[in-house]
Structure 1
Amino acid sequence: MEDLFQFNGFRYNWLNVLDLAIVIFLVIQLYRLLKGSLAFNIFVGLLMVYFAYFMVELLHMPILTLILQNFINIGLIAIIIIFQPEIRKFLLVLGKKAPLSKDSFFTKLFLPDKFKSYKEEENIIDEVVTAVSHMAATSTGALIVLSNSYRVKFDTASSISLDSNINAKLLESIFCKGSPLHDGALIIVGNKILAAKVILPVSENPNLPLQVGLRHRSAVGITEHSDNLAIVVSEERGTISYAEDGTLTQDVSLEDLKSKLYEVLVEGYPG
């Protein structure tokens, strides 16, 4: 292949340019994925180490090159350990966007049949939106997590297992201030209320607004490393928010919430 240019005795062609462009694209995607998390500073530090390595190699400094090369080789294992949550989140995003047919052999073999029809999904959406609207009107604090995975992980030590059908009145009664189950989150998996009074991981994202409370930070925390949607009703203001992929969207309307639920439960289902 014809060379484009030469630099420092090396010849570069179109494949080298493409190689560099792919690396730049991947770095940008990593930046977007890690931005706002505690791992971002570690990511910047690693970029500086790699930049220093290429500079000392380019300047033919063998001792520093050897030291940094060994550091990088050992550091690959450390990177996997440190960035385990981010790697898992990245793979979840890829898996979520993977085009799978609802009637494909792979889907039938490996993916659970969560809903018998879209009619059942629409009924679930109506029940959740009805409950959220009533709780918002009465400033009843609530945290509802809808999971697409039957293997959703949470602390079972303090949670109460329910395995109940989704009903607006039941949701409201659970979060009623006099209820023993109103503290913590409620987990919905498929077409069932799986558990209540669930303690969720609290997000350490420093970019979250200072005025948000524990419910909102817990909503962000459960969605940072898992494919869930968390709905929050503020006890102080009666406003509605939701978190997805570690991002908090505040003060949404009931129509916006309903659209998001359709996006997750209907449009998000392979088909």
Structure 2
Amino acid sequence: MTTSTTTGSTATGSTATGSAATGAATDPRPRFGDLLAAEWIRFRSLRPMPWVLGAGALVLVAVNLNAARYTYQHTGPDGPPPGSGYVGVAVNVSFTGMSANLLMLLAGGVGAAVIVGEYTTGMIRTTFAAVPDRRAVLLAKAGVLAVVMLGFGVLVSGVSFGLAQALLGRRHAGVSLADPGVLHAVAGAAALAPVCALIGFGLGTLVRHAAASVVTTVLVLFLLPASFNEDHRWSAAIAHAMPFTAWRRLAEADPTHVLQPPYPATVTGSWLAFAGWAVASVLAAAAVAHRRDV
């Protein structure tokens, strides 16, 4: 009687174990859309992020609007004289070099913070335990970051351009997106944000330390381009591949009124430089996360 009971219990336990194993085997793997949704929730849960992006947007717009106000005050009531290159001036004050530097610093810091925070707190272990496919996780993080920062860049560049042209229009010096070269200048300013954010993201995945990631991002985005000039072909080729140099070329709505170096960059090459940095940063982050222990 005891043997029979034991046998029955064993059979019941085996059945339960088999059912659990079958359930685990048939448990669907998380889809990439689910990873994107989870990373979006995680991004929104970062408490300082709305304040950082909000304050950053206000500062950037204020810097650009101040440049437009200066140009407005130094333009006659009848507008700029013909042939003065006012189109390039109107575009340049819509998104200045100072605002581009501030945007690069802010976006790079945000990109690094998105991934470094998880490594610092140890939450990345939980994430990878829930989703063993680390590359998919990193791609989802990068996708959410790129979309958010692209929206941020579009907002800042669009508002800055609209306010600046509304002000300059009072002096008959405003331009529109339909004017030659203006659209790619505004789009280049908007694209600068996600590109620099992904660079910070890739470096943050590699370094995994908050302060060191920010310092490395500054070195790559600011000091590295300063090491190359555009006076020699090989040096110019490297300089044109840098994010800031690529943005500067896209911002030239009227290159005929700009002193060009011996080997100037091209609009197509500048867009390719943006794309190359973004793709390389994401692929490097995915490769590092896949091979290194957390």
Q: TM class by shorter-chain length?
A: under 0.3
- Higher share in helix: 2
Higher relative contact order (CA 8 A, sep 6+): 2
- Higher share in strand: 1
